[in-house]
Structure 1
Amino acid sequence: MIVLAALAAPAVQAAAAQPASPVATAARSSVAAEVRAQAGGRLRDFYAPRGYWPLWIEKDRVGPQADALLALIEGSEADGLRPRDYDPRGLGRLIEEANAGSDPKALARAEVALSRTFADLVTDMRRPSRTVRIRYLDPEVEPKTPEPSEILRSAALAPSLAEYIATVGWMDPLYMRLRHARAVYREDWGSLPAVAVPGNVRLRPGMKGDLVPVLRHRLGLSDGVAYDKALAARVKAFQTAHGLKADGIAGAQTLAALNRGPSWYERKIALNQERARLLPGPWVKHVVVDAASARLWYYDGGALDGTMKVVVGTKETQTPMMAGMVRYATLNPYWNIPPDLVQNKVAPRILGGASLTRLNYEALSDWSANPQPLAQSQVDWNAVAAGQQEVRIRQLPGGSNAMGKVKFMFPNDLGIYLHDTPQRELFARSARQFSNGCVRLEDAQRLGQWFFGKTLKPDSDAPEQHVPLPQPVPVYLTYLTVVPVGDGVQFLPDVYDRDGMDG
């Protein structure tokens, strides 16, 4: 189950290892007896197998992990949650009472309350937003509400529970970087005055005039009438953070971005956090493809293993938001050419005198697994070009094949997959939305090595050699128009018009 793995830390010694002191053991056993009396419902499923041994109590006191939880609750607005829903004041009182006299009953009350609140908070942080739509291709990747026992068991396995909570170790790293970037953005740009700067001008270094003081005020600088070096540097910083050309000139695009106001950008960050919330935790071996930035990341063992550029769909042929399981690789692949390209590209070339053989194409009778080959003369190419007839055309394997040497398959009815490509020049571009929806990989060989733990090589020149993946790997195709960069955030163009935000 993906949810379980998303929460799980390495199988190390549980944080609740029994203390060496016999006196401390006896005291803690008294707390365990009280926990047994107080822990009911689903919490019992966690405590019973561990003999009701406490998770939050250390040396007859509530440990520092409770402080980490309270801090996380207080900052949960960054997760779109309301801190008061988790009663931090009530928890604080229970902790104070527990630590006042080391009474086993008071310690147990704090213990049970902390576990219940922690499980509720993790559940709410993992819960998908209804505002974001993604298609799940396999039951393994569909979000499932984790049981409190699963949440607590994963926390108990962490080498340091306090660190696990402080770093929010059950959430995807991209989510956490966006969460951090939201706070940084608020500090750097969110508190600036949201005053409008007339957008029908072009302000540049060295200028003076009535609008320069307005621009200085908008960017939080001291009063003045000169477009000096400080203002130029501030404009460049704003442009860099907002995905604009950092030339220090306040032109139409920069002024439009400024006039959206800080709250607009915070809403944009929040929307992208909700998209990232759908991703699993780092302990799941998985791949993330972001169509907005045209990048791919792959994770395993709680860490980022690597990243690469990709080419994704155009605005007209968008790469969808979906999640599935990569189950096999295909070496020496065919390329089944989409019907619209057959109509608009292939048929006109054939009518112009080209041959299927020279193009390294072949025509087939249908889309079944065993189609019959068709001679070029058997196809009414005028009807195909006019859209009155459809014919299946595929490109044979070879150096010019659009699929390159390998494609990685997560079965879906849209024909979307990850694949190699001979068009290397496209990776040098900053905007890489050029495909028909599939994902072209900058380094397919490296990703194949990561998937299979070995270099993939075909057994022969035979086409379509399928190599099953021993353990299927989840892949998430998402769309992040806000990405973490360094210690901050960068806003990307909404190339697919999916954000639904005016301005």
Structure 2
Amino acid sequence: MLHGILLPALALAAWPAQAAAQPAPAADVQRTSVAAEIRSSAGGKLRDFYAPRGYWPLWIERGRVGPQADALIALIEGADADGLKPKDYGARELKALAKDADASGDPRLLARADIALSRAFAALAGDMRKPSRKVKVRYLDPEVEPKDEEPKEILRAAAVAPSFVDYVRSIGWMSPIYVKLREARADFAQRWGGLPQVPVPADVKLRPGMKAGAAALRRRLGLASGTAYDKALVARVKAFQGDHGLKPDGVAGAATIAALNRGDDHYDRLIALNMERARLLPGPQVRHVVVDAASARLWYFSKGAQDGTMKVVVGAKESQTPMMAGMVRYATLNPYWNVPSDLVERKLAPRMLNGASLTKLRYEALSDWSANARKLDPAAVDWRAVADGRTELRVRQLPGGDNAMGKVKFMFPNDLGIYLHDTPSRDLLAKPARQFSNGCVRLEDAQRLGRWFFGKPLKPASDKPEQHVPLPQPVPVYLTYLTAVPLEDGVRFLPDVYGRDGV
């Protein structure tokens, strides 16, 4: 990346020598003149961006303002979709300045346009990245804490993008999840916004061929007045169901009618809330992992693209996977499973009272939760006191094929004991809703994720338990909660299992 940033500056420095050998193209001469004007005009934090690149313009191509400026102005004009005010970024003034600069070809005007566009872009991109106070996330490491980005860093990232215009058009500094939700919000409003907000009777299940209640349903969905539950209404109901995460069967049952009666504003607010959650995620240039507890799915990104995705099992309603972010720093091969105290009390202690053998079950009882805990003789444990909740006992499951952690766990140190791990319980991964764990994240394919983390297969050196392997480079992981999920052709609304939406 350093070479990519410095290349324009090196080219500028070498230009006089090249000019002695052959005439320089007119466009290069003009860009050199624009660079000279930028040198004399750029100040403050923008100078920190322009100086290392020899004041070479960012927005000027072949003596004119490039198409990336049109993309930026269009983005500014639609900034209300991001909860921002378009007037704060001066789209009208940028249009006028770009038009005058193009018409005159004056290097001074072109330089003014370049600086103004850079200033507006840095401000817009920085504001889009700022977290909302509506969303509370626990940040475990300083590397993942939101911070105000310097204009020079925002502009440098844009300057080294493979295509600057595509970077602006695709909002490439934001998470792809955010960008897709932003697009889905506009598409959703176009498809379902502005329809009559009339209530549909909720005391009857409406089916094709029925007449009672169909009139209100037709009106609510924007069809011609009438009482027939005909093919047109069936198609409209199916479309509504598909866009609202419901089974598209064309029957207006309780769930469909409840969704209709919530109204358009409810779903717009819900998408907006999920955009605020996705705003906290990094852009795809950052190597990182995202776990969504609402859809029970994981994605991983690097080098500007999504590298893969997989199913996961996340926390149940009673033991929710929290919204948090940290750094995955090492993997543990052949892990123990420290059994949660409530499970020791409710599940394991009664089995011991009924004559089970802790050793045959491949568990160990320990004296405490320290790293130097002593192994206890199971016969010396007061299992009745454990079962009654009068004594808290640390128990861990030995590594092996039936270990709840599987073969590996990926650690981002935190005091809640949350991590990503393998699992032998494959049946839960086949379920459409996968909120079953005690808060940790069970992986569909831990070995694949391990290869992505380490760049090679993960294999233990021996049968020794708890082999810790540091990552070559720590990787950020974000645990989020997205009840509106972008699809290729719209958005899917998911049940608010954890009750966090409040919209």
| TM-score normalised according to structure 2 size | 0.95
List aligned pairs for 1:40-79, cutoff 5 A.
Answer: 40-79=43-82
Give the equivalent residue in structure 2 for 1:248. Answer: 250
In the alignment, which residue of structure 2 is the partner of 1:357?
359
Displacement of 1:252 in angstroms is 1.5
Aligned residues: 493
Aligned equivalent of 2:142, options 139, 143, 148: 139
Q: Quick check: 2:6–2:53 contact (8 Å CA) kept in 1?
A: no
Give the conservation status (yes or no) of the 8 Å contact 1:313–1:438: yes
Query: How far apart are the structure 2 equivalents of 1:184 and 1:10?
Result: 40
**One-letter amino acid matched to 1:393:** V
Q: 1:257 aligns with which of 228, 249, 259?
A: 259
Shift of 1:13: 8.6
Aligned pairs for 1:39-438 (under 5 A) are: 39-209=42-212, 211-438=213-440
The whole-number CA distance in structure 2 between the counterparts of 1:413 and 1:119 is 37
Aligned residues of 1:458 and 1:465 also touching (Cα < 8 A) = yes
Q: Is the 8 A contact 1:169 1:281 kept in 2?
A: yes
Question: Could you list the per-position Cα deviations for residues 247-290 of structure 1 after superposition, in whole angstroms to 9, with x for gaps in the alignment?
Answer: 21111211111011111101100100111111111011111100
User: What's the C-alpha RMSD, in Å, of the aligned pairs?
Assistant: 1.8
Q: TM-score, normalized by length of structure 1?
A: 0.95
Contact 1:416 / 1:437 at 8 angstroms: preserved in 2? Answer: yes
Deviation of 1:246 after TM superposition, in Å, equals 2.2
Q: Which has the higher contact order (CA 8 A, sep 6+)?
A: 1
Q: Quick one: structure 1 residues 15 and 161, their matched pair in 2 at CA, closer, same or farther if it must change by over 3 Å?
A: farther
Paired with 1:143 and 1:65, the residues of 2 have a C-alpha distance of 27
SS of the equivalent of 1:42 reads helix
Q: Matches of 2:2 and 2:161 in 1, distance apart?
A: 6
Is contact 2:447-2:457 (8 Å) kept? yes
Q: CA 1:303–1:319 in structure 2 vs 1: closer, same or farther (change >3 Å)?
A: same
Distance in 1 between residues matched to 2:3 and 2:252, nearest whole Å:
50
Corresponding letter in the other structure for 1:381: W
**Are residues 328 and 43 of structure 1, via their aligned partners in 2, closer, same or farther at CA, if it must alter by over 3 Å?**
same
User: Shift of residue 56 of structure 1?
Assistant: 1.1
Q: Which moved more, 1:192-201 or 1:285-294?
A: 192-201
Shift of 1:30: 2.3
Give the distance between the partners of 2:8 and 2:201, measured in 1 at CA.
Answer: 59
Q: Is the 8 A contact 2:77 2:86 kept in 1?
A: yes
**Which digits, 9 at most, give the CA deviation of each residue in 1:130-155, with x for residues without a partner?**
11011111111111111101111111
> What does the per-residue CA deviation read over 1:446-494, in whole Å, with 9 as the maximum and x for residues that have no partner?
1111111111111221111111111111111100000011220000000
Deviation at residue 238 of structure 1 after TM alignment? 1.4
Range with bigger deviation, 454-463 or 290-299:
454-463
CA contact (8 A) 1:330 1:409 kept: yes
Q: Deviations over 1:46-67 (max 9, x none)?
A: 1111221211112222111111
Structure 1, unaligned runs of 5 or more: 1-7
Partner SS, residue 358 of structure 1:
coil
Does structure 2 conserve the Cα–Cα contact (< 8 Å) formed by 1:15 and 1:160?
no
- Which deviates more, 242-251 or 39-48? 242-251
Q: Distance in 1 between matches of 2:28 and 2:424?
A: 66
Q: CA deviation at 1:9?
A: 11
Higher mean Cα deviation, 104-113 or 269-278?
A: 104-113
Q: Secondary structure at the match of 2:123?
A: helix
Query: Residue in 2 aligned with 1:31?
Result: 34
Partner residue in 1 for 2:456: 454
1:189-228: CA deviations, max 9, x gaps? 123222211212211111013x212111111222221111
Deviation of 1:180 after TM superposition, in Å, equals: 1.1
Other-structure match for 1:4: none
Residue 3 (structure 1) aligns with = none
1:426 maps to a residue whose letter is L
Aligned partner of residue 499 in structure 2, secondary structure:
coil
- SS of 1:357's equivalent in the other structure is coil
* Residue identity matched to 2:131: P
SS of structure 1 residue aligned to 2:87: helix
Shift of 1:92: 1.1
CA distance in 2, matches of 1:201, 1:422: 45
C-alpha distance in 2, partners of 1:15/1:159? 15
- Whichever residue aligns with residue 433 of structure 1, its letter is Q
C-alpha distance in 1 between matches for 2:302 and 2:118: 28
